[in-house]
Structure 1
């Protein structure tokens, strides 16, 4: 009989945090999912880019809406880019402590108070 594999959390391997240089790489938040590992990402320079998930990550990392990712823009097109990695919750806390995710916090506060009621 085949043995059952234990399905717990993976060992917490700490990796070094990739910081964006704000020239060719940015922090991004996934807004919309398209098919074929393609996403619409709102970047920290307040530009929406259509980004493709890097091939190495396609079957290893699952992306969803509102995930914080590291985006590298294409050299020939400013409105497109590649998703290089997805930040974990611990890494997001560190980025917020360094105040590097201000653009996303401003957008969240705008969305909270932008409620309209019908009478």
Structure 2
């Protein structure tokens, strides 16, 4: 019979349910880093984000954050830029909602950036214009 070489089962892999409610120090960008807002999740540890400098980049979620820090569309993240690929970046840190508000108050994020708490997920209401929503025709769906 083989000896047990593991350190436990699936409950150990999940870890303790520790809440990160304690205040952590606010991390500002350095050289080679940029703030970005996630536009959509692509799967396989990747996402698409619009950086503050106006560039749309394909971002890779680093292994330390993968399956531990959940990132959704609309979240503010800190990405590390690549010297050899300008259209790709690596997600270093995800900012909580209150940290993103602080970054906006300090002037690190532009005033035109809409934070996640103000995003309308239900769609446009009566009388509002839905510029963010795309209406597809039947021909477009057949092409997909």
**What's the TM-score bracket when you normalise by the shorter of the two chains?**
0.7 to 0.9
Query: Where has structure 1 moved over 3 Å in runs of 4 or more?
Result: 112-115
Larger radius of gyration: 2
Q: How many angstroms apart in 2 are the aligned matches of 1:9 and 1:65?
A: 24
Residue aligned with 2:64, SS: helix
Which position in structure 1 is the counterpart of 2:22?
13
Q: How many angstroms apart in 1 are the aligned matches of 2:83 and 2:29?
A: 16
Tell me the C-alpha RMSD between the 2 structures: 2.5
The structural deviation recorded for 1:107 is 5.4
The structural deviation recorded for 1:106 is 2.2
The structural deviation recorded for 1:35 is 1.7
Q: How many angstroms apart in 2 are the aligned matches of 1:88 and 1:107?
A: 15
Which runs of 5 or more structure 2 residues have no equivalent in the other structure?
1-16, 115-127, 132-144
Q: How many angstroms apart in 1 are the aligned matches of 2:18 and 2:96?
A: 13
The structural deviation recorded for 1:12 is 2.2
Q: Structure 1 113/18 Cα, relative in aligned 2: closer, same or farther at 3 Å?
A: farther
Which runs of 5 or more structure 1 residues have no equivalent in the other structure?
1-7
Q: How many angstroms apart in 2 are the aligned matches of 1:30 and 1:11?
A: 21
TM-score by length of 2: 0.63
Q: How many angstroms apart in 1 are the aligned matches of 2:34 and 2:20?
A: 28
Which position in structure 1 is the counterpart of 2:103?
95
Q: Structure 1 15/78 Cα, relative in aligned 2: closer, same or farther at 3 Å?
A: same
Q: How many angstroms apart in 2 are the aligned matches of 1:55 and 1:87?
A: 17
Larger relative contact order, structure 1 or 2 (CA cutoff 8 Å, min sep 6): 1
**Residue 49 in 1 paired to residue 57 in 2?**
yes
